[in-house]
Amino acid sequence: MVDALASGASVLRDVEVRVFSRVPQQSPGHLVGFLLRMNHRGYMAKSKNTIFKGLLKTLDTLSSKRVALIFAAIGFITFIVCLNNPFQGDDITQIVENLPVHFIQNIGYFFTSSTFYNGQNLVGTYYRPLMTTAFSILYTLFQTSTAGYHIFQIALFSSGAFVLFLVLKRFVRQWLALLLALIFLVHPMNSQIVFSIACLQDTLMFFFGILALYVLITRTSWRSMIVVAVLLLLTLFCKESGLAYVVMSFAYLGFFDRKRIWKLIVVMAGPVVLYLTLKALAVGLLVGNANGAPIDHLSFGVRLLTSPSIVQFYFGKFVFPLSLSTCWYWTEQHFSTLGVLIPFLVDLAIAAVFVWLGRFVKRYGKRKDLYAYIFFACWTVLGIIPYLQITPLDMTACETWFCFSMIGVLAMLGLSLPLVKIGRWKINLSWVLIVLIIAVSAFAVRTIVRGTNYSSQYNIAVHDLAVSQNDYSALNNIAQYMIDNQRYVEAKQYAQKSIAIFPGLGNYDNLGVAHQQMGDYKQAIDSYNTALSYGSMDFVYENLAQIYLAKWQDPTTEKFLQKALTQYPQDYKLLTYMAILKGAQGNNTSAQGYITKAAQYGAVPQLLYDRIVQNQPLVFSIPTSIEPIILK
């Protein structure tokens, strides 16, 4: 023991001599300070290393319940800014003015129809019955209080991100899975899925899709396979692109458990047949979109010129999500260096980076890690291919469309980064931890800021237009805002700008309303008729009916109303206008029949209803009338 202590003292003296030999001759006070600094630096370096190792260990040993609480807390803190945001955009036609959604007993009808209410039926080219069902349940619970809708969406997306953590934990260490899933939760590209009520379809699809994959990974019984089949069917009922989760479920078994492929085929046969049958009856099997974007009208070859910039767009926004917009409508109609060649070279560079990272997984990882890397590479590619405009879509790009592929990208990074080695240098896990924590924090702050843009439809439209200057839908939304605030001259200007970029039913209808409110009825009629050439919606006929009713003596007025009611026999406004017309003509019996029917479908003015039913005269004017209308 004494010898050991003596030996230790000798070593300390040697160290002391070496240290002092490098210090210039100074006073004892300076030497003491130098030694303290040397000791402090060594201690701090050791402390930092110990802190990070401790943090990694803590994150690795967190229970699932505590991790779930982390996701709930961070999700709520990040998205709470949206709780008071009003209904916007498609929320109006899909929820507020969608009468079938207001009655929960219509759930069966939702599975045999589309999504948008045109005043008579649910129409459109999309088949998303589970979204409409969810809207109906939420409307039954919360009516038009948007806070309930937002809370549900936040909870659903946060829960899905937690399930994603459970999936990633099967492939990478828990701390890495946790931070990667948190990045997915708070990433600004996914923020629209939570902030926009109309995007509930994407939230539902992600939740059921990732839950199906988790059950498939962690359970092997027949009962669990049936659960997987039900979840995948629900995913398809959320959105057509839910098919990607079905494909990757089979791909997972192909990579990791081929013996169970036949089981999945057996249990999925019935649900797939059911889905295809219902979709065919509702909207048809192979239905194109509504031609709602400039890129829809380009040829296949010309559309492909835009594809390289689309891929660059998604990966660029993934790394630097600074300029965000709900819709993007750019096109590359001619080959150019800046618009086609450079994006193509950037895309090749992105692919090369992931191939380079994959080499480290192959060299230093296990065989299952390589299989997982290839699996998630396929996942990423599958998520991007449908959005390359091979089939024209209703916009050039949308940030939410990268949600599926983002899972694959994050998983590949989680599998490869801890294995990166360049020469003798190996990546330090502490640095990976620091970078990921910074990323989670930065993305969360950016998402919170993005949430403030959704405070109103006008605010989000102004912000999006500043970023995406060819956003015709944002211009039309501003026109609608101007109409709502009786600023008709400005509404006309914005509607015309929207039409100049991409004409359609919506912007021509707003142009008609602006003309009508300004007293230019001829221009209003022309605008409404042009709007109807792009499609048929009840509100266009209602606007036209007001103008026609001012000339109630003209036979064309009754012909127009009859034509409109042929298409929308349950439209209470058109029925009310027809009752007014019949009352002005002195046909009280017919007027009573129309006004009684109108009251069955909507809120008819009580005074008008009482006078017609009681055969009492009524004199009133409508905005487009030159002379008052007299009900005899």
pLDDT band at 620 (very low <50, low <70, confident <90, very high): low
CA dihedral 260, 262, 264, 267 (to 10 degrees): -130
* 35: pLDDT strictly greater than 50: no
Fold of 537-632: 1.25.40
Residue 165: other Cβ atoms inside 10 A: 25
Summarize the confidence of residues 198-218 as an average pLDDT: 97
* Low-confidence winner among 117-121, 330-334, 545-549 (lowest mean pLDDT): 117-121
Most confident range (mean pLDDT) of 210-224, 291-305, 526-540, 568-582 is 210-224
Tell which residue, 351, 411, 440, has the closest CA to residue 73: 440
* 449: pLDDT strictly greater than 50: yes
First to last CA, the chain: 121
User: Which pLDDT score, from 0 to 100, does residue 288 have?
Assistant: 63
Q: How many CA atoms lie within 13 A of 234 on its CB side?
A: 18
SS3 484: helix
SS3 620: strand
Q: What is the spatial distance between Cα 541 and Cα 531, in angstroms, rounded to a whole number?
A: 10
Q: What is the spatial distance between Cα 24 and Cα 17, in angstroms, rounded to a whole number?
A: 13
Sort strands 116-117 and 122-123 into parallel, antiparallel or unpaired.
antiparallel
User: Which pLDDT score, from 0 to 100, does residue 14 have?
Assistant: 47
What's the pTM value of the predicted model, to 2 decimals?
0.86
161: its two tokens:
């991100």
Summarize the confidence of residues 240-267 as an average pLDDT: 95
SS3 367: helix
